[in-house]
Structure 1
């Protein structure tokens, strides 16, 4: 029996010569076989993979013929005979967004109607590939009303065993369909992760590739430049700031590597960006797109406000001065609560975009409502605007893999058509925004903007028109989550921030290369990438300690001849740029042994310059004593660690030296007189 099964099962799967003439089972039996086979197969890797290459036209009209094409790949270890493909469909439109989502997730029933199967390969060997094409007219499919219809491409062997399938959608729009177009307002994110720690040092060179042709950021800006669909941009100033730094004629420096020359890719990208944003609204995230909720929960909301101010300045420096923080959108995928809203309002935001999952409709409706609701936040009236979370997830589907673009396009068209079809006579507006750090294919990024302008059930509008809508019954539902920057991580950032503020306060004016570094360590990009965030934080700390160490006392030790003396102390500003103001505070380790009579002295030092302070000291005993020399900020805070000056008190002062000198002189005179007398006596004796 086992030997028989061992022979029969491979033949069933491969559809070998012995079964090549086996007729296809009846439709109902085929469906049962297909489902049973599909249940047994791992969803991630069916025996034969089906890739969609095109679905044309993108949406159907009454006179249209649906043409679907793609490619098969045999990814099993068996060879298949008489491989055929078939297009399954349903003549009844889907009735809700929930049904569309269920079908897209691979759940729910398959379509029950099918076109004729088409044999595309007599033999499909292991690893073999084969192109295929299928077509059906809208009339053959029985499509009659505007709506979304499920379709499926299925591949079988000669025994009728399903080897793989691929679900997708088509949208049908017959001419003259009475409906009110759904208005679509786009928010186009231009956000990355910080690539610098201090202003002068990049921690990696990944941005160069993203800005260049075919890179993620080049794709996003290029798609926007090619469309006439109105966009509102959400820009992280740190990204544009990094690109601007890379475009400097002096080049840029990467940690632990040689200097890079001026980036042509960065310059080209900045030029394209300026052209793309012309006439569009620009909104700035706080610098480096911080994790607002985590900072608010840790009592660090002031950092968000400071980052917002720095962000608008950074964009103005690259001639994007029209950007404001009046509209904000906290990082998607992270929790949002009341403290998040308060922090954004304190930073100047009066319109806040939130996921529709955070702003659900309080009423039981069968259609998607308008996105606006009013809310009082910390005594300020604020508009909360819901972006469609399902569409955001659709836009985030992988589109750079084979077939991914077509699947995402068809799902986008289906979802927007279903929103319109829920209440076709009820005009509504939706807000669409891709994931924050979106990575689309160039084709897909351009397509969704093109469909917004040309699909007969959609109409593009600017975000400003959304802000004038009447408020709905949506309610704010705060979210909690373990995601976000951790308490321990932010504790170390807070300590580092204290050191940066001290260092910055000594400059005239109070600004340094490290101020924006704190914002970079607080970026929402480090959620799930703690190793990268730690690298930025540790690099910033190392660079800060090096710079602080270049403003220092040069003296290490001195000898004081006598019980008192005036000791010159030299302070140096060894930085490459910047004028600093510091105060020298000196005190003895043991005042009873060595007293320092000195008033704190303030010095103003330009970069590369030195200055001296004279300290009066008095010793009560001979020997070595330590004096601590502490530099302080203009506010009186200790700056760096205390420098130790070793003072050796010899006990011989000027008076003692004078007395000793006179005594020696008298001694020498006495000795000389005795020598003269002795010689005179000897001379007298010789005469006698």
Structure 2
């Protein structure tokens, strides 16, 4: 779990075992591993500090014997009494090993534990009502300095993940980065980061269930991204070869966003556009941005308008725009009229020449007679 942005995510393998490579990779993702004392000493009765290091990575350790006391705890009073008595006895024996030194013990609840809210409240009351023992939040234990180093005795078991799961995981990672950059909300990004890592948990009975979980989170991410939309005319004619065209960004979300625009075309020799820079759009508002473009030559150019998150990733549905320039239309019109005038002048000059030649011939004929 993860309580807030910046705090570590805690992960416990179902077997309680993890190798150094896995611990190190999780640590780079700000995920703190919680392993069992049995995985270190191959004996669940060997007391181990709650915070240790493995290859320079801080690891938390839970006590197997104490944690097993909770496995048979049910809603009836007899099982509740047995569980609390067992837990007190285990912790009491650990305390008796070195009564002059305080130590932290992590008790891990079973993965399929079905305790009621009232039962959990009664359990915490039973464990906190002692002068030799007090409850502490896991965050506090995680903040303690590691006192010992160890080398894991057992190697972690590899798992096969489906291609669909890995593809969705990569998609969620990229979209989480975009949502985090757009909405400037670390808490929002932290929740989806935790969800992506949870998809690899041993608690899923199959890849299919994990894929469905990823699909739900991917859908939520897309809803955040789809709340930012583009609006523009499908056809735009500019008065000059270099001009500005209006593009509108609509923010239908309940948060302010920062976004930029990109205009591209397959006709790179005829079209270019200046980057828009970051644009601030308040929640529930729309902003129209003038984008500077340059168009070379006559005819229509197909341009793709696309939203860009501050992290550089493209997102949302793009907008196709047909752009042409009136400047080249006017030039072509002038060129045609000029050519027509030239042809008319040449035709008139040719007519005059023929008329003069005809008069000379007629005059010569009269003189001869």
Give the TM-score band, short-chain normalised. 0.5 to 0.7
1:372 aligned counterpart, secondary structure: coil
C-alpha deviation, 1:653, in angstroms: 1.6
C-alpha deviation, 1:582, in angstroms: 0.7
User: Structure 2: how far apart are the matches of 1:444 and 1:563?
Assistant: 73
Does 2:44 align with 1:358?
no
C-alpha deviation, 1:460, in angstroms: 2.6
Counterpart in the other structure of 2:192? 517
Structure 1 segments unaligned to the other structure (5+ residues) = 1-190, 192-235, 238-286, 288-309, 313-324, 664-688
Counterpart in the other structure of 1:395? 70
Alignment TM-score, normalising by the size of structure 1: 0.37
User: Structure 2: how far apart are the matches of 1:424 and 1:605?
Assistant: 58
C-alpha deviation, 1:636, in angstroms: 4.8
What does the per-residue CA deviation read over 1:302-333, in whole Å, with 9 as the maximum and x for residues that have no partner? xxxxxxxx154xxxxxxxxxxxx6xx863252
Tell me if the contact between 1:394 and 1:408 (Cα under 8 Å) persists in the aligned partners: no
C-alpha deviation, 1:515, in angstroms: 5.3
C-alpha deviation, 1:613, in angstroms: 1.7
Counterpart in the other structure of 2:329? 652
User: Structure 2: how far apart are the matches of 1:354 and 1:521?
Assistant: 21
1:611 aligned counterpart, secondary structure: strand
Does 2:19 align with 1:337?
yes
Does 2:235 align with 1:558?
yes
Counterpart in the other structure of 2:288? 610
What does the per-residue CA deviation read over 1:373-397, in whole Å, with 9 as the maximum and x for residues that have no partner? 98653346x576441x233233132
User: Structure 1: how far apart are the matches of 2:245 and 2:85?
Assistant: 79
- Distance of aligned partners of 1:632 and 1:408 in 2 relative to their CA distance in 1, 3 Å threshold: closer
Tell me if the contact between 1:553 and 1:571 (Cα under 8 Å) persists in the aligned partners: yes
C-alpha deviation, 1:483, in angstroms: 6.5
Alignment TM-score, normalising by the size of structure 2: 0.62
1:582 aligned counterpart, secondary structure: strand
- Distance of aligned partners of 1:656 and 1:585 in 2 relative to their CA distance in 1, 3 Å threshold: same
Does 2:319 align with 1:643?
yes
- Distance of aligned partners of 1:559 and 1:453 in 2 relative to their CA distance in 1, 3 Å threshold: closer
- Distance of aligned partners of 1:378 and 1:486 in 2 relative to their CA distance in 1, 3 Å threshold: farther
Counterpart in the other structure of 1:493? 169
Tell me if the contact between 1:631 and 1:640 (Cα under 8 Å) persists in the aligned partners: yes
Counterpart in the other structure of 1:81? none
User: Structure 1: how far apart are the matches of 2:145 and 2:241?
Assistant: 80
User: Structure 2: how far apart are the matches of 1:452 and 1:634?
Assistant: 48
User: Structure 1: how far apart are the matches of 2:30 and 2:267?
Assistant: 54
1:128-167 equivalent positions in 2, closer than 5 A = none
In the alignment, which of 109, 112, 127 is matched to residue 435 of structure 1? 109
Tell me if the contact between 1:581 and 1:604 (Cα under 8 Å) persists in the aligned partners: yes
User: Structure 2: how far apart are the matches of 1:640 and 1:556?
Assistant: 18
Counterpart in the other structure of 1:70? none
Report how many residues are paired. Answer: 320
CA RMSD of aligned residues (A): 5.0
Tell me if the contact between 1:566 and 1:616 (Cα under 8 Å) persists in the aligned partners: yes
User: Structure 2: how far apart are the matches of 1:643 and 1:425?
Assistant: 71
Tell me if the contact between 1:359 and 1:386 (Cα under 8 Å) persists in the aligned partners: no
